[in-house]
Chain A
């Protein structure tokens, strides 16, 4: 039925070995960057490392799809019908993330409660057992709830004024 074995390139086993090594090396570089990032505090530095990690992630994805999933050795017809629709992700990601970002800005501008939340420091909780942890969360959730209760009528009043 399918005779694509006839146009196989090179020794498949050698290719599998090569790709395995590449994937391992890429993962190790990612991990090194991850460890490195723990120490980096500047916004720009972290962003640069994150960008590099995303590029490495895409490279890994390419090797898995192209060699493990064998797409590179399929006919060009198949490659195109698979790869071209994935371009839809570009606008999918751009629009969603930029609107998420804009939603944060909106809330920081018009929602005093939301903005205030981002400035109040809380204690880190050290709960190692399920029950304790659950109690801790409940307590934590109760606190903002009461705050919100006070904030909400104020908000409603604000909107009415408008």
Chain B
């Protein structure tokens, strides 16, 4: 026992108390653990989706369902085009968020403001795309409990395809929405010099973690619903 605690290796010292073993403030530890728990929320959704797919004989072909984009005619057949635009919007907004965090570390208020505005625009653009897609699918007759699409092998499909699609993308969209709200609050706090007064932009870092997590979840949602 005692030789464990008296060992003065660099590793052990981090855990000796009086300071954070991770060298970060408690808010960031909490944010990381919150994101882990949120990962389990999304994980449970996606795994439930996978389980139902595995326990069903047929499943609709995503390329037949998601084949349109705004301002296209009725008979468009352009699978993956629109969703790839959505994916790139989210990746780009994630990049601007990293740049905002970096600017925050450099205490560069202007950089933070510019990049936060870009991130917020990206978030709103993504939400608009999602709104269009939901609206489009709804017009085709898809909703919770309603599935106009048939299975890839031509048999009748259960409603679980649309059920899961709307539930999971809806839950993700809710996260994007709350991320945008958080980012707007951060922008206002930056503009009113709150972080300048505190001497650090740690709140931007935490908001950034949340925003990247939203992007991360989309990587999984995008793959599970549109590609597989």
Residues of A within 8 A of B (CB): 1-5, 12-13, 16, 20, 23-24, 27, 30-31, 33-35, 37-38, 50, 53-54, 57, 60-61, 64-65, 67-70, 74-75, 77-78, 81-82, 85-86, 89, 92-93, 96-101, 103-104, 107-108, 114-115, 117-125, 127-130, 132-134, 136-137, 140, 144
Contacts and interface: CB of A to CB of B under 8 A. Distances in A.
Contact of B227 (A20, A30, A61): A30
A97 B209 contact: no
Interface string B191-227: 0000000001010010011001101100110010011
Given A53-B227, A61-B216, A85-B36, A133 B141 contact: yes
- Give the interface SS of chain B, mostly helix, strand, loop or mixed: helix
B189 interface: no
Contact of B50 (A24, A64, A96, A134): A96
Contacts of A92: 43, 47
B216 A65 contact: yes
B52 A136 contact: no
A82 B30 CA distance: 11
Contact of A96 (B25, B51, B101): B51
A23 B93 CA distance: 13
Contacts of B63: 34, 38
Contacts of A86: 36, 39
Contacts of B140: 127-128, 133
B50 A97 contact: yes
Interface residues of B, number: 70
Contacts of B202: 1-2
Contacts of B98: 16, 67-68
A64 B55 contact: no
28 contacts: A1-B200, A5-B105, A16-B102, A24-B91, A31-B80, A54-B228, A61-B220, A64-B94, A69-B208, A69-B212, A75-B22, A75-B23, A86-B36, A96-B48, A99-B51, A100-B50, A101-B55, A121-B155, A124-B149, A124-B150, A125-B141, A128-B140, A130-B138, A133-B140, A133-B142, A134-B141, A134-B146, A140-B156
A117 B124 CA distance: 42
Nearest to A26: B219
B132 interface: no
A148 B153 CA distance: 21
B176 to A, nearest CB: 15
B210 to A, nearest CB: 10
A155 B98 CA distance: 59
B147 interface: yes
**Top 9 closest pairs, chain A to chain B, by CB:** A133-B141, A100-B54, A100-B51, A118-B57, A78-B22, A103-B55, A100-B55, A121-B154, A137-B146
A78 B24 contact: yes
Nearest to A30: B227
